[in-house]
Structure 1
Amino acid sequence: MPRFFVEPGQIRDGYIYLTGQDAVHITRVLRLGRGDRILVLDGRGKSYQAVIEDAGRTRVICAVTGEIPVFSSPGPRLTLVQGLPKGDKMDLIVEKSTELGISRIIPLVCERTVLKLEGDKLSRRRERWLRIAREASKQCRRPDVPEVDLPGGWDQALRDLDRATALIPWEEENVLTLKSFLRENTNPGSRFMFLSARKGGLPPVRWSGPVPTVSGRLRWGRASFEQKLPVWL
C-alpha cells in the first residue's frame, strides 16, 4: 500500500488533504483515483488507513477508514549533532541517519565551517533536509520522521546536554567502544547525543569519557554514517 507523510494539520474531521508533490505523485505517477487505498503517516508515529474520495491535479482528499496505534520505539533516543560539511554532503548524512533510526539531527556551525547559510538560504536548506528525511522514512518504511533543526552554534546544541549523555569520538581511545558503552548504559528513556565534526572542529568540552572513531584516512561523509552510526543498532 502506498505510504505518504503529512503534517497533523492536513488531517481534519476524518479527512486527509494531500497537496503539492504528494498529489502529483498519487494522480500522475501512481495513477491512483477514487476508491484506491493508501497509508498516511503523521511523522510522529501515528498511521491512518485511508481511501481516496477525490483526486485532482493539485489536491487529493481521502477519508480515514482506520487508525493504527501510535508507534513507540523501544530503543534509546539518539540525537546526531553534525558539524556542517561543505557542499551537499549533509543531504546524504540526513538520509542515512534517518534510515539508521536517528531521532533528531542538529546541524552544527563550527569554528571552521566552510558552508555559510543565512536568511532565506538557511530556511530553504532546512526544508530540503526535511524532504530528504521524509522520503528516506518512506523508503525504509519508518513510521516517523526525525526532527531536523535549523543550523546553529554550540549554544543551541548544548541546551539538551543536561538531559542527554554526550558521546564524542576520539581516535586515541582503544578500550571503550561505543557499542559496549551503549549496551551497558541504555535504559528505558535513555537519551544520547552523538557529536561529529571532523572538518569543522569541536571547541573544548568536558565529557565523561571518550568513545572511539575509525582510524586512518576515510572520506568525510562515509566515515560519519557508515563507520560510526551502525554500531548503535
Structure 2
Amino acid sequence: MSNPVFFTPAGSLDEVREGSLFVLDGAEARHAVTVKRLAVGEPVDIADGAGRRLTGTVTKVAPAVLTVECSSVTAEDRPAVRLVLVQALAKGDRDELAIETATELGIDAVIPWQSDRSIVRWKGDRAAKALGKWQSAVSAAAKQARRAWIPGVRAAVDTSGLVKQVEDAALAVILHEDAVRPLRGVLEAWQEAGRQNQDPCDVLLIVGPEGGISPREVTKLCSAGAVTALLGPHVLRSSTAGPAAVVVASDVLGRW
C-alpha cells in the first residue's frame, strides 16, 4: 500500500537530504496527526506540489507538528505533453466533481470556462472565492491520489479568452456529440503527424456545460485551430466527459 501524502509549500524540500529531519507544521500536520492519526514509526510521503517528494518515517508527533526522518527525496518530471481540462462552469457542483476526478486520473492543469450556456456565473467577489474552491478541490484530490504534482488552476476565461488558449496549444479538442471522429483517432493522428515533439506542449480537452457548447462557440474555437471529437456512443454529463477524455488521452499518449 502506498504511503499517505501531505503537502508542503513548493521549494521547502529543496535542501532536504537523506537522513535529515523535516518538520511539517500547520494545517497539513494537524490533519496528519489528528485525522489520519499517524504515529511514530509509520511511513509517510511529503510532497511540495511541484514534483518533489520526500519519503520517510515519522519520528515525532505533536498537535500541529509532524517530524519526519528522510529516507529519500525524488523529483518527478512533469509530462512533456500536458493534458489541460477546459471545464465549462456547470450547475450543482458538477464542474468541481469533474476537476476532482480528472485530478485523480492525472490531469496537469484545469481552466474554468464561462461558456455561453453556463448557468453558473463567476462575477466579482464570487469569482475569487470560486477559483479558490477549485484550487482546494484539486489539491485535496491530488493528495487522495498520492500525487507529487498539484494541477494548476488557471484563471477563468470567457470564450474570447479560450480562443487565445486554443491558438497557443499544440492541440485543442472539443468534446462534442455531433463530432464524427472519435477522440482516440484524433489523438493518434496528431501523434502520427509528430506534433507532440513540441516539448513541452499543451493538449486542451474542452468540455461544455450541461446545455452543450453553442454553435457560435464551436465555430469560433475551430477557426482558432480546435477540432471536434466524439467521446463514445453515449451523451455524457459535464461532470463525466472530462475524466473520460483524460482516460482515453492518457492511454493513447502513453502516460499510463
TM-score, normalisation: structure 1: 0.81
For residues 115 and 147 of structure 1, what CA distance do their matches in structure 2 show? Answer: 22
Of 121, 129, 133, which aligns to 1:128?
133
Match of 1:168 in 2: 174
Match of 2:29 in 1: 23
Cα distance in 1, alignment partners of residues 234 and 14 from structure 2: 53
1:192 aligns with one of 203, 213, 223: 203
Q: 1:73 aligns with which of 62, 79, 92?
A: 79
Shift of 1:117: 2.7
1:49 counterpart = 2:55 = yes
What letter matches 2:156 in structure 1?
P
SS of aligned partner of 1:193: strand
What is residue 7 of structure 1 aligned with on the other side?
Answer: 9
- Bigger Cα displacement from structure 2, 108-117 vs 150-159: 150-159
Q: Within 1, Cα distance between the matches of 2:128 and 2:86?
A: 18
Question: SS state of the match for residue 126, structure 2?
Answer: helix
Letter in 1 for 2:204: M
Q: Which moved more, 1:189-198 or 1:150-159?
A: 150-159
Q: CA deviation at 1:156?
A: 3.6
RMSD: 2.8
Q: In structure 1, what residue type is equivalent to 2:213?
A: G
| Contact preservation (8 Å) 1:19, 1:60 | no
Corresponding position: 1:225 with 2:243: yes
Question: Distance between the aligned counterparts of 1:222 and 1:209, measured in 2?
Answer: 20
Task: Report the residue type matching 1:7 in the other structure.
Answer: P
Q: CA deviation at 1:103?
A: 1.1
Q: Residue type matched to 1:41 in 2?
A: A
CA contact (8 A) 2:172 2:227 kept: no
Alignment partner of 1:153 out of 158, 161, 165: 158
**Match of residue 109 from structure 1:** 114
Secondary structure in structure 2 of the residue aligned to 1:138: helix
* 1:84 Cα deviation after fit: 0.4
Q: Check conservation: 1:18, 1:60, Cα contact below 8 A.
A: yes
**Equivalent pair of 1:111/1:201 in contact (CA under 8 Å):** yes
Q: 2:101 aligns with which of 96, 99, 114?
A: 96
User: 1:28 and 1:208 mapped to 2: Cα distance?
Assistant: 48
What is the CA-CA distance between 1:200 and the residue it aligns to?
Answer: 6.1
The amino acid of 1:27's aligned partner reads V
Greater fraction of residues in helix: 2
AA matched with 2:48: D
Please, which runs of 5 or more residues in structure 1 have no aligned partner?
none
Tell me which amino acid in the other structure corresponds to 1:60: L
Structure 1 partner of 2:188: 183
Distance 2:235 2:79 in 1: 35
Q: Where does the alignment leave 5 or more consecutive residues of structure 2 unmatched? A: 17-21, 252-256
**Cα distance, 1:40 vs. partner?**
0.9
TM-fit CA distance, 1:223: 4.0
Q: What is the rounded CA distance, in whole Å, between the counterparts of 1:217 and 1:156 in structure 2?
A: 27
> 1:78, 1:225 → 2: CA distance?
11
> Contact 1:168–1:194 (CA<8 Å) still a contact in 2?
yes
Question: Given the two structures, how large is their TM-score scaled by the length of structure 2?
Answer: 0.75
Which residue, out of 144, 155, 179, partners 1:139? Answer: 144
Deviation by residue 1:158-177 (Cα, 9 ceiling, x = unmatched)? 33333312112343333x22
Q: Matches of 2:97 and 2:153 in 1, distance apart?
A: 14
**Following the alignment from structure 1 to structure 2, what is the Cα–Cα distance between the partners of residues 210 and 166?**
9
Percent sequence identity over aligned pairs: 23
Moved more, 37-46 or 84-93: 37-46
Instruction: Deviation per CA, 1:164-220: give whole Å up to 9, x if none.
Output: 12112343333x221122123233434311222143634231136432245655444
CA spacing shift, 1:147–1:89, aligned 2, 3 Å:
same
Say how many residue pairs are matched.
229
C-alpha offsets along residues 98-122 of structure 1, whole Å, 9 cap, x if unaligned?
Answer: 1222211101012232112334433
